[in-house]
Structure 1
């Protein structure tokens, strides 16, 4: 098979993690197929790694913004490349298909915003952007031979908003690189203070659906109702995906006089994350929406107890390895953080459950299941059973 993987949409968070590990895992199990991975030479150089000779990086000169440039390139230039290279299959790691593709297309529906309720969005432009995004996704589903979801919960939630035939649906969990916890780099000098105090950790990009205002409010309540001097600081790791949300967070921090207790340290190198997790006292994920939540597995594998939003996908991923709170109730978050921080027996139980649950995820398993989908679609296109 000659398989093209369109990775141009992978810019941050789970998309980067996915494209950092999936090609490597596929390379370990598939020596026969030829893979061509589309990346931008402008903003995705970090994704390029040494792989076997049957893997090729197809670098294109496309900027990260505006997104419309990438979309137009994928719709009108990519089909010509696929035709010229005699591609057998195109896998797009996001929800937008290449509509003129001369070969079968597989898409991955990993963006929760596509099927989320957008009635609460502020501004006509934002609402229209979401309407158009959903329409394009619906058309992409029609074009696709298969639609990959990264959790059962996200598949069920998407199916309520977007008609995805059952015959096209496939659930494949993301994997986890278990060598992550074996890395033992020292904290960089600008973050060395993290090794000198207890802290509550949240690792996630700053965007609206990550629900950071509830985290800040819940933490503020924790400081007021617990002994403030014994309460760990709050550390947030993640780049800014939504400037409006970042502004709201900073205003909350200022209005609550938390400048000395809440630390937004931005994005960090992936190699720095293990040392940050290992130093954390508690991990909190307050999201309103997720499709998977890779940082949950990182926290579980790093022996950090978890307090997380009580939403279906997080329960699916963590199962009994987390304490859950109502994501719309800051005081419930406060109570659950206080409970875990003060109960050593509960902390140890969560740590052990987390270590066991993390074993269920591997990139080898993810690659095997993904390759099986590739072969199924390829054989169907060739008229084979």
Structure 2
């Protein structure tokens, strides 16, 4: 079989990381695929490793506006899939307009499907965008011959909404880049740290309404007021309205609470290595890659108890309600004060992270694509003979 991949709407973040990593680790010949053809924008294609069995197809329209890309997906892609003799289409971005079958897609984003989270944006362009994504992706999920979920939480949440019987579906979690695996370091009592050499708390994620950085800042401010020698570093790009809220909580020139902005993904592991505790306060996730990275980095973790976080972290962290500042404060304080707990949770989360690898993700993905393709064409043969 020949596999076509429509990565036309993968432009940054976890979606690009996913497709880059699984194609780097893939052995498609082991699953009946002689060739893989992928369509995407130039920047994404440049990040994908060249392979003998892989054909990267670039068209200038894929670097243009969303509307133009959607028109291309609906009008040009179906013809090109036939020209390249593709037998099955994989759309990891979640929205397909090609009408090609068999098509397999992926549920990547829970924001459009959790009303409470969507409504955090109130009446805004973002809420309208998420509503349109919801409509588009639900249509694609219902038309798909196969659907990949990243967590069991996402699967259980979406199956009732999709409302289809006999759906070919599979839970295939993402992996972790090897460079994030850092063995847990020696921990020290909080008295060992000073304002000049503080205990560093790290929160990596986009500054956004459902990530609750403002609540984390308020919690850490309270702990600083109690005299703890701690420092909070916030890392990530920003949704501008929420960044304005955050900046109102920050004090100019204060080194105890810092917003470092976006850091190159290839350098991110160094930030984890230089930290002592990881916080993850999101209330809406599908597959929390950032949580996985913190686990692999050998850090004790104070974590939101929403969504799939308990599924991923298990008993290897301290949990809090991300909307309750006092719970965030208490969780961080427990870890600051209890050296033995920090050490135990660091080793436990590090071991749990070893369950996730991009090789495993690639193997499971291509095995599922093979299964869906075989099932589709076997049914076609049976139907034609009946």
Q: TM-score, normalised by structure 1?
A: 0.87
Deviation at 1:271, TM superposition (A): 2.7
Q: Which residue of 1 aligns with 2:212?
A: 211
Matched residue, 1:186: none
Query: Displacement, 1:121?
Result: 3.0
Identify the residue that residue 349 of structure 1 maps to in structure 2: 344
CA 1:221–1:174 in 2, change beyond 3 Å: closer, same or farther? same
Partner of 1:246: 243
Q: 1:322 to 1:120 in 2, by over 3 A?
A: same
- Asked whether 1:33 is paired with 2:28, we answer no
The alpha-carbon distance between structure 1 residues 143 and 207, as it changes in their structure 2 partners (threshold 3 A), is same
Question: Any gaps of 5 or more consecutive residues in structure 1?
Answer: 184-194
Alignment of 1:283-298 (within 5 A): 283-298=278-293
> In the alignment, what sits opposite 1:58?
57
2:73 aligns with 74
Aligned residue pairs total 365
Q: 1:270 to 1:120 in 2, by over 3 A?
A: closer
Tell me if 1:85 matches 2:101: no
Residue matched to 1:146:
146
The Cα of 1:158 is off from its aligned counterpart by 2.2
Structure 1 pair 76/308, CA: closer, same or farther in 2 (3 Å)? Answer: same
Q: Distance in 1 between matches of 2:341 and 2:166?
A: 40
CA apart distance, 1:179:
4.4
Q: 1:64 to 1:157 in 2, by over 3 A?
A: farther
Work out the CA distance in 2 between the residues paired with 1:330 and 1:65.
Answer: 42
Residue 10 of structure 1 pairs with residue 7 of structure 2: no
Unaligned runs of at least 5 residues, structure 2: 184-195
Please report how far the alpha carbon of residue 196 of structure 1 lies from its aligned counterpart in structure 2 after TM superposition.
6.4
Q: CA RMSD in A?
A: 2.4
CA distance in 2, matches of 1:48, 1:25: 11
Displacement of 1:366 in angstroms is: 1.2
Measured in 2, the distance between the counterparts of 1:90 and 1:54 equals 16
* Corresponding residue of 1:380: 375
Q: Is 2:182–2:297's contact at 8 Å kept on the other side of the alignment?
A: no
Aligned partners of 1:170, 1:28: CA distance in 2, in Å?
18
Alignment map for 1:214-363 (pairs within 5 Å): 214-224=215-225, 226-228=226-228, 230-231=229-230, 233-240=231-238, 242-254=239-251, 259-363=254-358
CA distance, structure 1, for counterparts of residue 347 and residue 297 of structure 2: 11
